[in-house]
A and B are shown apart, each in its own frame.
Chain A
Amino acid sequence: EVQLVESGGGLVQPGGSLRLSCAASGFTFSRYSMNWVRQAPGKGLEWLSYISSSSSTIYYADSLKGRFTISRDNAKNSLYLQMNSLRAEDTAVYYCARDASGYDWGQGTLVTVSS
């Protein structure tokens, strides 16, 4: 059974940083691209970033303006999202998703940016 488990969310002050993790199991992690997607409270889905299976190709949403960095460790079956200079509008549930087509999704981790 495929499992994606996000962690690392929480309450952070504006301007602060967080590092999200996504632990993968049930499939050969190193063979799949991965994505981060977020959902603000009561809103739709917003794609944030993509990383290829070997980390050779990375894309970001323009709206992030260089504040977020995606990475992965295939030896640890883990995906990461380093988030810096956080703003109130970054408050959302953050999901990791397998493959660009969205084959599997984690339960999400809530990030709240507030003073």
Chain B
Amino acid sequence: DIVMTQTPLSSPVTLGQPASISCRSSQSLVHSDGNTYLSWLQQRPGQPPRLLIYKISNRFSGVPDRFSGSGAGTDFTLKISRVEAEDVGVYYCMQATQFPLTFGPGTKVDIK
């Protein structure tokens, strides 16, 4: 199974400041079809997960452009350019390149 790790696990941030979360996979996420199926999910308190980014850097419908994804191979990053109060929650990276699908442990983002 592909193991996903995230750093940091907790990130207190100041409103209006940037935030960054790293995700690393135990093996390359490049699929045989050439795509890299790495997604980022946001879970606000008491809410279900919501897709932010798919295939490394593609913002899903309705996702603000302050969220961006980057990376390749085994190392990926989610960046929030200017954190807003509504961004508080837990962020998960997820790989869909190989079954079983696996998630990172989650990074809790809250406001300082």
Contacts and interface: CB of A to CB of B under 8 A. Distances in A.
Interface of A: 35, 37, 44-47, 50, 59, 61-62, 95, 97, 100-108
Interface of B: 37, 39, 41, 48-51, 54-55, 60, 92, 94, 96, 99-106
A33 to B, nearest CB: 10
Q: Which 4 A-B pairs rank lowest in CB-CB distance, beginning with the nearest?
A: A100-B96, A47-B101, A101-B54, A59-B99
Contacts, number: 55
Given A37-B49, A101-B54, 19 more contacts: A35-B101, A44-B105, A45-B49, A47-B100, A47-B101, A50-B99, A61-B100, A100-B96, A101-B51, A101-B55, A102-B49, A102-B51, A102-B54, A103-B51, A103-B54, A104-B51, A105-B48, A105-B50, A108-B48
